[in-house]
Amino acid sequence: MTTKTLILHATENDHRTSLKEAAAIIRRGGLVAFPTETVYGLGADALNAKAVQAIFEAKGRPADNPLIVHVASKQQCSELARNIPEKAFALMDEFWSGPLTLILDRTEIVPDVTTGGLDTVALRMPDNEIALGLIRASGKPLAAPSANLSGKPSPTNARHVIEDLSGRIDAVIDGGSVKVGLESTVVDMTPAVPAILRPGEISREDIEKVIGAVIIGYEDKIHPESTVVRSPGMKYTHYAPDAAVTLIEGEHEMVISRIQELLGNSPSRQVRIGLLLTDESNKMIRHADQLALGSKDRPGEIALNLFSGLRYMDSKGVDLILVDGSFSHLGIGAAVSNRIRKAAGTIIKV
């Protein structure tokens, strides 16, 4: 059934009217897309099983892919999770509100549909006044995956949401572009040694400074469909544009050389190629369809522009996207690499 999607305009300093309308939609079981600091989320009352089910239907999301629940206070967190370890509270104190999701044992009030049938719940407090305001105004914790069609690049502005979900959801709060551009770091706090299940802006080093050793519990590939996973982003295709994606990794000069070689060997009339490059590579390559995402030494810039870059290349109608992987993999660079590897059909190391 097609729904007329309402577009509500807001800024972090002026959002009272839009939030009042959006909160009413949430309370009656509707779906509202809203900005966070990471990407836009598609929100519903996390404790309303019918409303949460509508998220899966709107996105075309597999039912066993758990959702992150967004809260506005630690008290709200304690209503949704039990047996919360001291290390989890330490991470909340350090990084909330912010791009960090914690997986904890769930309480009985959280519906199975919200957790993908798991005995755990993923919680985070977003660092965005519009997002926090919507949670407070609605009086509901919000189950909110990224506000895109399942498998597509995550939305970093309201236009991306409208492209994917117009007619499928009740409203979009247009709060401008996001600040980070990649989804939150996810840490499973239920084992004796916490495990990072998805990398994000908050790095392993950041986390270990607060709670000591953690393990890496993710791989830069899609898990088999039979696998049970506790975190979004580990299973099924994610972050992928319509065009095929090839990632070229290695030293900067070698990556440039291989991209030029691939362009030279391509039958241009049959395969239209787009390039997503670092600023440095962009100055050294000339091609009809190319876009610089940021400096290779500042992966935060690339993180902010990656998903919009993949969508841009789709809008240009390219068949193949070559991605320059010569950027630093330190800090958020590890998360950038993770997302591109999930989107890529081919990875070339040079």
Domain ranges of the chain: 6-216, 244-349
- The answer to whether the CB of 200 falls within 8 A of the CB of 333 is no
Which residues sit opposite 325 in a β-bridge?
A: 249
Amino acid 252: pLDDT = 96
User: Under CATH, what is the fold of the domain 244-349?
Assistant: Rossmann fold (3.40.50)
Q: Is 286 left (phi over 0), alpha (psi -120 to 50) or beta?
A: beta
Give the Cα separation of 227 and 212 in Å (integer): 29
The pLDDT value recorded for residue 234 is 58
Asked whether the CA dihedral 283, 284, 285, 291 is positive or negative, the reply is negative
CATH class of the domain whose range is 6-216: alpha beta
* Cβ neighbours around 200 below 10 Å, total: 26
Give the Cα separation of 93 and 159 in Å (integer): 34
Distance CA 84, CA 70 (A): 16
Residue 72: phi and psi, rounded to 5, are -115, 0
Q: Which residues contact 306 (CB under 8 A, 6 or more apart)?
A: 153, 181, 182, 276, 293, 336, 339, 340
pLDDT tops 90 at residue 71: yes
Burial call 74-90: b when 16+ CB within 10 Å, e when fewer: eebbeebbeebbebbbe
Measured CA to CA, the distance from residue 191 to residue 102 in angstroms comes to 12
3-class DSSP assignment, residue 204: helix
* The two structure tokens encoding residue 229: 């996973």
- pLDDT category, 63, cuts 50, 70, 90? confident
Residues 26-51 have pLDDT tens digits of 999 999 999 999 999 999 999 999 99
Q: What confidence score (pLDDT) does residue 64 get? A: 77
Per-residue pLDDT reduced to its tens digit, 194-243: 999 999 999 999 999 999 999 999 887 655 555 555 666 554 556 789 99
Strands 185-188 and 273-278, by their bridges, are unpaired
Question: pTM for the whole thing?
Answer: 0.92
Q: Can you spell out the DSSP letters for 95-131?
A: H-SSSEEEEEEEPTTS-HHHHTT-SEEEEE--S-HHH
- Tell me, what's the pLDDT at 229? 59
Compute the distance between CA of residue 233 and CA of residue 50 in angstroms, rounded to an integer.
23
